[in-house]
């Protein structure tokens, strides 16, 4: 079911406010070249899991518990590698230069000031719609 114009405007406003408050989140959801890199990480991680599974089967056929433990750790490392995202300096560079070097410091007051009034507005709208507004 499509959103009404009013709901779409509210959603856009909330999205802009969220992205203004948390630029890291905006970069995390922004479409870009990370998908190809992510696909490569998934392929390498799955390859590690498959190799680890093969070594685990070999360890079960041989009475080698230590080899099974190593195979399991290899499978775990491959899965973690496939699921996590890299934190390269190229991705962190623009945030530091754009934020003026103190990204966490200025974002905290903005979250408290701007986010508080924004949330209060949303709460007031919600209360007005539901009929629980004590001011009415």
Do 108 and 69 lie in one domain? The reply is: no
Each of the 136 residues of the chain gets a pLDDT tens digit; together they read 787 888 888 888 888 887 788 877 777 776 655 555 678 888 899 999 999 999 999 988 988 899 999 999 999 999 998 888 776 544 444 444 444 444 444 444 444 445 568 888 888 888 888 776 555 5
Q: Is residue 41 part of a domain?
A: yes
| Helices 34-61 & 65-83 angle (0-180, nearest 10) | 170
Instruction: Please enumerate in sequence order all residues whose Cβ is within 8 A of that of 47, keeping only pairs 6 or more positions apart, or say none.
Output: 78
What pLDDT is attached to residue 136? 52
* Number of domains forming the structure of the chain: 2
Q: Is residue 25 part of a domain?
A: no
CA-to-CA distance for 133 and 110, rounded, in angstroms?
27
């Amino acid at each position: 079911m499509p959103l009404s114009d009013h709901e779409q405007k509210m959603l856009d406003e909330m999205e802009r406010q969220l992205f203004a408050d948390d630029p890291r989140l905006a970069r995390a959801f922004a479409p870009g070249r990370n998908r190809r890199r992510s696909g490569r990480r998934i392929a390498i991680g799955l390859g590690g899991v498959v190799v680890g599974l093969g070594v685990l089967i070999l360890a079960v056929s041989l009475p080698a518990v230590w080899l099974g433990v190593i195979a399991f750790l290899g499978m775990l490392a491959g899965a973690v590698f496939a699921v996590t995202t890299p934190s390269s300096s190229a991705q962190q560079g623009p945030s530091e230069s754009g934020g003026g070097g103190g990204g966490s410091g200025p974002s905290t007051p903005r979250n408290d000031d701007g986010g508080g009034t924004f949330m209060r507005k949303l709460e007031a709208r919600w209360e007005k719609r539901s009929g629980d507004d004590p001011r009415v």
